[in-house]
Structure 1
């Protein structure tokens, strides 16, 4: 094919790529969360699969890895979440209100005569719960209709997880072959992507898990119940930068003050400040040493923006997307500064 014919042909192929690429994206879009979650989980357990596959075979190894992952990670997580939801309901139903007179006096002293009383707050909470239950019952048809969507999503998740474990190395090799970059730039891009994934998936989980364990231990010593709920809440909130575990233990300190447990409140305040929140300053830099070292403001934007677009999976996907954008900009700047690239 001569050069005169190659330009129209290339433009036509690009138009076809845009057309079919857009269609493919819209095909995947309804199951994007399931696909992304499968990708993150495949990345997490890939070292195990890499050791099992040579011994068990290319199909049996990923199958064993997948079922082991579901047994060891997914099923326990579902049980923990179920217990946390149950304990949250128990906590709402049996929460001990602070002494009414003491709370009202403190509230009026701080906020004036129009400050809310215990009865007012209790009524607001009760109305909110009733409204939520009413809305839940009103949408029961939608919930039942969502069961089939959940089953389809679960199938997509398992299907994607298996084939990523089995053919993930082939997919990476294909990407390396089709990316129109030189070998050095391609290697650096893949290396930085791996670092971002490690920091977002493994580093964040380590930090959140440590803070959740420390919070549960502190609450256990004080005598709080529903520890599974507090652990799950702390773990989830610790995935968010700046906010972290403090949004759990600080309200607990305030609650202890209101119910008159001053020694416990002081102890939790010291423990939370020095141990729980202080651990973040030590563990996070170590756990996320391989990350892109994003600015804190950009990191917060990437996480909340990721959650808004991708749901819960966006906690991990958001920083990777923003980090890759930063990486690509840096690679372009390096290429422009390199005289050999001209």
Structure 2
């Protein structure tokens, strides 16, 4: 094949790759959440899968790892989520709207005077609360109505999980073979990707899980009901930067003050400040010791941007994308500074 034919063939292959690559992306996007979740789970349990695969073989090891993960992790997690949803629905349906007479009595006791205009405040507030609660129950009903979509996503998740467990090493080897980079640069990219995944997934989940457990303990001690719901809410909110667990326990302190339980409010405030929120300063540096650090402003942008693009999993995917972008820029800068290494 002469040079002209080779150039034409290469150009055609590049155009074909662009077309087929675009079609592949279009096909995968509707199930991207399930595929990403399968990849994250495979990454988390990879050490267990490696040990089992050495003893049982690749296929049997992957199957055993997936079964163990389902029994030990996924099934209890789904049970907790089901209880949290049930408690959320019960909380929404059982919530009582503010009573005008009770509010006027409360304000009179606190401020020593009657507030005849309280009804004007309570009526729109009550309507807003009622609309919000109905919206919450309606959202739960909509989620339950999409069972078929959930089942399809679950099948794709399990398939991606199993395939990546069984063939993950071959997939990584294929990426190394087709990547037009030298071995040292490829190793650096894989190492930093591992650090970013560790920080984004393991570090954040450990911190959020600890704060959720501490919140449940504190709420149970002061006598709150529906602690599973509050624990799940704390866990999800603790994954987000800036917001954290304080958005759950601070309103609880305000509620305790509102109902006149001052000792419990003071106790929960101290416990929340020094134990729940304080645990972040102690545990996060330990959990993220392996992780590649991002500027706090970049981290906030990467997480919220990731959520906007990838949904809930963007909490983990966003920082990895930003971190890899930073890594590629640094590698390019190193190559430009030392052109002999290219």
Show the counterpart of 2:92.
92
Shift of 1:159: 1.0
Alignment root-mean-square deviation, CA? 2.7
Query: Aligned ranges for residues 43-192 of structure 1 at < 5 Å?
Result: 43-95=43-95, 100-101=103-104, 104=107, 117-118=121-122, 120-130=124-134, 144=145, 146-192=146-192
Show the counterpart of 2:15.
15
Deviates more, 1:95-104 or 1:175-184: 95-104
Show the counterpart of 2:30.
30
Shift of 1:102: 5.9
Secondary structure of residue in 2 paired with 1:260:
coil
Show the counterpart of 1:270.
270
Q: 2:226 and 2:137 mapped to 1: Cα distance?
A: 22
The 1:292–1:255 alpha-carbon spacing in structure 2 relative to 1, beyond 3 Å, is same
Secondary structure of residue in 2 paired with 1:250:
helix
Structure 1 unaligned segments of length 5 or more: list them. Answer: none
Shift of 1:80: 0.3
Q: Residues 109-164 of structure 1: CA distance to partner in whole angstroms, max 9, x if unpaired?
A: 9xxx7897455433321133335556877x7xx965x3332222211111111110
Q: 2:23 and 2:156 mapped to 1: Cα distance?
A: 18
Contact (CA 8 Å) 2:103, 2:118: kept in 1 or not? no
Q: 2:118 and 2:332 mapped to 1: Cα distance?
A: 59
The 1:40–1:102 alpha-carbon spacing in structure 2 relative to 1, beyond 3 Å, is farther
Q: Residues 160-190 of structure 1: CA distance to partner in whole angstroms, max 9, x if unpaired?
A: 1111000000000110111111111100000
Matched pairs, number:
337
With the length of structure 2 as denominator, give the TM-score of the two structures: 0.90
Q: 2:286 and 2:89 mapped to 1: Cα distance?
A: 37
Contact (CA 8 Å) 1:302, 1:318: kept in 2 or not? yes
Q: 1:116 and 1:200 mapped to 2: Cα distance?
A: 48
Contact (CA 8 Å) 1:104, 1:116: kept in 2 or not? no
Show the counterpart of 2:260.
260
With the length of structure 1 as denominator, give the TM-score of the two structures: 0.90
